[in-house]
Amino acid sequence: MSSTSRTAQFTRLHRILKKHYKPVSPDTQRPVLEQLLLACCLENAHYDAADEAFLGLVHNFFDWNEVRVSTVRELAEVMPRLPDPAAAAHRVKRVLQHVFESTYSFDLEGLRKTNLGPATEKLKAIDGTTPFSVAYVLQTALGGHAIPVDEGSFQVLRLVGLASEQDQQAGLVPGLERAIPKAKGMEFGSLLHQMGADFVANPYASRLRDILLEIDPDCRDRLPKRRARKAAQAEAAAGSDQPRADQSEKRRKAEASSSERTGQQEPKAISSAAGEGGSKAGSGRSTSGQKKKPAARSEGGQNESSQGSDERAEATGLSKKKPR
């Protein structure tokens, strides 16, 4: 944005937001703990989705103790419209666990009697709280001047040049509470929150881009681009395909190595087969030689047998001659 004072910039932002969104007035009569649990659901979400999630906790569980001992998955199932049900369920569960272990009850009403400074520190010390939920409780339950800013709202403020990355990491927008008076704090906070929730839901929506350009015409180059998202998706897909390529390469190398080992073993198999063939041939020759000898003996036997038969025939013939 231009070099206009931050107070003027936030005032102009308030005026533009009011043109596109309707203020939401939170219920300031809720108990402190319920305000904190609602804030856990409201972070980065639209108001109607957060109210539905909170009512889901109230109606589907017997009491806060049952919510405390339930799993994150069971809690997330009753708040499906939130942008990140598991994260919201985790915050709710951690807050209830910390409060129960600290007070053996589910009551934070004592913070109403505490000065804002100590009350703020006690809220920050509760496990599961965030800068957004702490500021929301201070604004809606303890009467403090704090404007809750979540991740989606920080993204919007960064795009229009009203917050930096360091501010987002610290969870604090410099000069915001000074620029927006306490009487308009709830209204401004609800308007900014709705735009932040729209950004979380769809940062590429044309309506959202038009509002951002109306706030700061110079932010066009900083707006999220779909091409960048597609490139990120392509990189992620390439990264997921890399292990498959590595596995294919490993299989190829293993097959090549197996082929080499098989090629080295084939000559050995051939030589051993040749040796076995030679030994079989030698044994064949030996066997044939052994068979020839009995054949020779058989011929001799046959000759002897024939000679014997001739002699017997001659003797018989002589015996058959007539006597003189």
Residuewise pLDDT in 10s, the chain (324 residues): 544 789 999 999 999 999 999 999 999 999 999 999 999 999 999 999 999 999 999 999 999 999 999 999 999 999 999 999 999 999 999 999 999 999 999 999 999 999 999 999 999 999 999 999 999 999 999 999 999 999 999 999 999 999 999 999 999 999 999 999 999 999 999 999 999 999 999 999 999 999 999 999 999 999 998 865 556 666 666 665 555 656 666 677 767 666 666 555 555 544 544 445 444 444 444 444 444 444 444 444 444 444 444 444 444 444 444 443
Termini Cα distance of the chain: 167
Name 158's Cβ contacts closer than 8 Å, sequence gap at least 6: 164, 165, 168, 222
Query: Residue 146 carries which DSSP code?
Result: -
* All residues at 6 or more sequence positions from 190 whose CB lies less than 8 Å from its CB, including other chains: 21, 23, 24, 25, 26, 47
Residue 212 dihedral angles phi and psi, to the nearest 5°: -60, -40
Class level of CATH domain 6-225:
mainly alpha
Distances (CA, A) of 137 to 67, 141, 150: 20, 5, 14
Q: Dig out the tokens for 303 from the structure.
A: 């000759």
**Buried-state track 240-260, b at ≥16 Cβ within 10 A, e below 16:** eeeeeeeeeeeeeeeeeeeee
What is the pLDDT at residue 264?
A: 56
Question: Residue 209: its pLDDT value, please?
Answer: 96
Integer Rg of the chain from CA:
48
Place of tokens 């910390």: 98
The answer to whether the beta carbons of residues 68 and 97 sit under 8 Å apart is yes
CA 173 to chain centre: 32
Give the pLDDT of residue 54: 98
Q: How many CB atoms lie within 10 A of CB 203?
A: 19
Contact 178, 223 (CB under 8 A): no
Residue 181, CB-side half-sphere exposure with 13 Å CA sphere: 2
Please give the pLDDT value at position 230.
Answer: 59
User: How many whole angstroms from its chain centre is CA 37?
Assistant: 27
pTM of the model: 0.70
Tell me the residue type at 192.
L
Determine the pLDDT at residue 259.
62
Domain extent listing, the chain = 6-225, 226-281
| The residue type at 231 | A
Distance of alpha carbon 108 from alpha carbon 157, whole angstroms: 32
pLDDT digits (tens, 9 = 90+) for 102-159: 999 999 999 999 999 999 999 999 999 999 999 999 999 999 999 999 999 999 999 9
Task: Please state, in angstroms and rounded to a whole number, the distance separating the CA atoms of residues 208 and 199.
Answer: 7
Q: What is the pLDDT of residue 236?
A: 66
**What is the per-residue pLDDT for 251?**
72
The pLDDT, as a whole number, for residue 280 is 46
Place of tokens 């709705």: 194
The whole-angstrom separation of Cα 301 and Cα 295 is 10
- Of the candidates 143, 152, 149, 173, the residue with the CA atom closest to the CA atom of residue 161: 173
